[in-house]
Amino acid sequence: MKAHEFDEKFENDEDLIADLDLSKAKRPMQKQKRVNVDFPIWMLESLDKEANRIGVTRQSIIKVWLAERLESVAHHHKSTDAAD
């Protein structure tokens, strides 16, 4: 399929999945590695309460919150490095 044909299907909200070779798909920076972390009970209870409130798993909320914090720290370092 030519690129313009693909673009046209996309623009027309047509299903593109059948046209993709997903066997070679990769998610950059998404390779997983399992880690074990010990949390105090009060923290687990708070995590579970918030996860239940928004309808996600404990693991999901931990990942989202850590990602947000890491992005914030990276942004802070980028802005302070630019000021130097």
What confidence score (pLDDT) does residue 38 get? Answer: 97
Q: Which pLDDT value is given to residue 29?
A: 76
pLDDT at 73: 93
pTM: 0.58
| Gyration radius of the chain over CA positions | 20
Q: For residues 19 and 5, what is the distance between their CA atoms, to the nearest angstrom?
A: 11
Which amino acid makes up residue 84?
D
- As given in the structure block, the two tokens for residue 70 are 């890491």
Each residue's pLDDT, cut to its tens digit, for the chain (84 residues) gives: 889 998 999 899 999 888 888 888 887 877 888 999 999 999 999 999 999 999 999 999 999 999 999 999 988 887 777 766
**Overall domain count for the chain:** 1
31: tokens are 């390779």
Host domain of residue 64: 3-83
Closest CA to 52 of 41, 61, 65: 61
